[in-house]
Amino acid sequence: MSRTVAVRPLRAALDARPSRRRPVMPAAALAVLALTAGCAQGASAGPAATGGAPVPGGTLRFALGAEPTGVDPQQVGTNVSIYIARQLADSLTDQDPETGEIVPWLAESWDVNDELTEFTFHLRDDVTFSDGTPLDAGTVKANFDALADGPLAASAPLAASYLGGYEKSRVEDEHTVTVVLEAPDAQFLQATSTVSLAILSEGTATADPAERQQGELVGSGPFVLEEYTQGQGAVITRRDGYDWASDAAAHDGEAYLDAVEFSVVPESGVRAGSLASGQVDAIGDVLPQDVPQVEGSGGQVLNRNNPGVAFVLQANVNRPPLDDPDVRRALLPAINRPELVDTVLSDAFKPATSVLASTTPGYTDLSDELVFDPEEAARLLDEAGWAEGPDGIREKDGEKLAFDVAYAPLFTGSEAVLELVQQQLRAVGVDLELRRLTPAEQTAAQESGDFDTYYYNVTRADADILRTQFAVGQRNLSFREAPQGDDDADPLDALLADALAEPDAAARAELAAGAQREILDQALAIPLFELAQSIGVRGEVHGVAFDASSRLLFRDAWIDGGGQ
């Protein structure tokens, strides 16, 4: 049996828009969603209009700080890739960036059974993909089948993890589909709002994953892909007739912009200079030294912290010296997190106070366990048997206390951050080697475990991201192994599994808090800082918005005078 209740009204700013059908959902699902309420912060929609209504037309020129890895919404994971991919495809639901509430998008309503194992979505009947084919229940089924046990299962690991308990999709009628899961899954409704579970045309769902990444895809989004050149950028153009924006959008109907042109400009100073001179209209990854130039030219810097796992060094516990938990624990107080932010980043960023970013539903403040205390770090290493050597690096049994960090510079400030972390660790006798990888090498290292620590963050507005990153049988970059004895249940995996099956929001938050504590107790990850999206826009640009995951949206964006 399932129970249904009316969804709460959206924020007052949306009430003035033309009315839409409101969804209904069961009380159990609302309890799960309550965990998201109030979690989003700073979801700026860009500079306030300086007078008059939005003006259609024009091309917005956006300079990316790194190369996109592809354009397939279900496969990409980097921010710069998602900036492009999110515009091409819609999801079943959306997450309001101000309230955290799950709201309608391609599905105008849904029902969830009390066991959290069946999610029935009632689809809009007016949605078409950019090739003219209609959205129907069979399309949703084709997408989820391919992600769970098809050609995409390997190349879209994050999306596949959201469907970890997937059994089947049952087509009830043309516009009604029920997703059946093998076990209770409290995270699934929020997962349907993510770009990773965006719905593509049925033909795309079964197409070759590599070709999809290069642009051979069809979505229902407000923009269509006009051009994509790997390593150089992309052009997206307005989708004529688009009229199914989510209930979190600022306006109905088509995008205002004619097009968005994305180019790759790796040097932050060059990006800022291009914005100041009017060569581009918006830039990503604004660094502290570039803010005066952006603002001095009449522009504005938009900031929002990403929810999900903060930037961390995740330890491979099967390789010495980090197979010793005492060594891993000593690294926690060795890092001066405020110095990372103050020296290398900007006040848009925050020092990590848990393995989760503070904007994540279910986050708990563990800053007391992450206080910078080099004396304590030295004491712990002394107790673990590592004595200072003649060059300042600690030694034990003839081996130096040295390990590497594998990273790809997908975030502009990564290398500078890691160089400072390297200095901080050296001050307590630890030698950190920086291993810069290409995205392809990064993927290979993830799969093989050929690293000592892995530097990354991952964005999601739900605490279940801990399960997908740390649980045995999931991504598990620590390469932990499941206990062998029946009485040796792993406490972290138990907490994560219990949270997945828990319909009560408060209880689920407690389990998430316990999981964060357990990750620090085992020192599986060394938190560094919370990623922030720091976007520069010219004064003539309005309506560039962040979604609940702090990724950019351009459907509501416009330029004074319609641009060039």
CA distances from 513 to 95, 191, 527 (A): 22, 20, 15
Q: What CATH code is carried by the domain that includes residue 446?
A: 3.10.105.10
Helix (H) or strand (E) holding 329: helix 325-331
Dihedral in degrees, nearest 10, Cα atoms 509, 515, 520, 526: -80
User: For residue 158, what pLDDT is reported?
Assistant: 87
| Count of residues in the chain | 564
Looking up tokens 């999931």 gives 474
Written as six digits, the tokens of 260 are 């968005």
Would residue 287 count as lying in a domain? yes
- The alpha carbon of residue 454 and the mean position of all alpha carbons in its chain are separated, in whole angstroms, by 17
Q: What is the mean pLDDT of residues 337-352?
A: 93
Query: Measured between alpha carbons, how far is 150 from 529 in angstroms, rounded to an integer?
Result: 36
Do 224 and 345 fall into the same domain? no
Query: Measured between alpha carbons, how far is 386 from 400 in angstroms, rounded to an integer?
Result: 9
Specify the number of domains making up the chain: 2
Query: Measured between alpha carbons, how far is 130 from 88 in angstroms, rounded to an integer?
Result: 9
Query: Measured between alpha carbons, how far is 413 from 286 in angstroms, rounded to an integer?
Result: 10
Flag whether pLDDT at 32 surpasses 50. Answer: no
Amino acid identity at 89: A
Do 294 and 354 fall into the same domain? no
Taken in order 378, 380, 381, 383, is the CA torsion positive or negative?
positive
Would residue 313 count as lying in a domain? yes
User: For residue 85, what pLDDT is reported?
Assistant: 98
Q: What CATH code is carried by the domain that includes residue 544?
A: 3.40.190.10
Do 191 and 159 fall into the same domain? yes
Using the 8-state DSSP alphabet, how is residue 555 labeled?
T
- pLDDT tens digits, one per residue of 532-544: 999 999 999 999 9
Query: Measured between alpha carbons, how far is 348 from 329 in angstroms, rounded to an integer?
Result: 28
Query: Measured between alpha carbons, how far is 563 from 208 in angstroms, rounded to an integer?
Result: 37
**The model's pTM:** 0.82
Do 217 and 357 fall into the same domain? no
Do 328 and 227 fall into the same domain? no
Domain extent for 326: 309-530
Flag whether pLDDT at 312 surpasses 70. Answer: yes
User: For residue 154, what pLDDT is reported?
Assistant: 87
Would residue 7 count as lying in a domain? no
Query: β-pairing, 532-537 with 300-305?
Result: antiparallel
User: For residue 564, what pLDDT is reported?
Assistant: 57
User: For residue 346, what pLDDT is reported?
Assistant: 83
Looking up tokens 């899961």 gives 181
Would residue 272 count as lying in a domain? yes
Do 293 and 360 fall into the same domain? no
Do 265 and 361 fall into the same domain? no
Would residue 278 count as lying in a domain? yes
Do 87 and 106 fall into the same domain? yes
Point out which residues pair with 235 in neighbouring strands: 227, 261
Flag whether pLDDT at 50 surpasses 60. Answer: no
Least confident of 266-275, 279-288, 408-417, 507-516: 408-417
Taken in order 162, 475, 461, 534, is the CA torsion positive or negative?
negative
Do 212 and 331 fall into the same domain? no
Would residue 49 count as lying in a domain? yes
Cβ neighbour number for residue 542 with a 10 Å cutoff: 21
If DSSP codes are grouped into helix, strand and coil, which group holds residue 278? Answer: coil
Contacts of 521 (CB under 8 A, 6+ apart): none
Q: Is residue 366 a contact partner of residue 353, using CB atoms and an 8 Å limit? A: yes
Do 483 and 558 fall into the same domain? no
∠ CA 474-475-479, rounded to 5°: 100
Taken in order 186, 26, 148, 243, is the CA torsion positive or negative?
negative
Query: Measured between alpha carbons, how far is 116 from 187 in angstroms, rounded to an integer?
Result: 9
Using the 8-state DSSP alphabet, how is residue 131 labeled?
T
- pLDDT tens digits, one per residue of 287-310: 888 999 999 999 999 999 999 999
DSSP string over 165-211: TEEEEEEEETTEEEEEESS--TTHHHHTTSGGG-BB-HHHHTS-HHH
Do 110 and 96 fall into the same domain? yes
Q: Is residue 285 a contact partner of residue 413, using CB atoms and an 8 Å limit? A: yes
Query: β-pairing, 223-229 with 233-238?
Result: antiparallel
∠ CA 173-28-516, rounded to 5°: 120
pLDDT classification of 482: cutoffs 50, 70, 90: confident
- pLDDT tens digits, one per residue of 110-158: 999 999 999 999 999 999 999 999 999 999 999 999 999 877 888 998 8
Do 395 and 421 fall into the same domain? yes
Would residue 104 count as lying in a domain? yes
Looking up tokens 């579970």 gives 197
Query: Measured between alpha carbons, how far is 125 from 108 in angstroms, rounded to an integer?
Result: 9
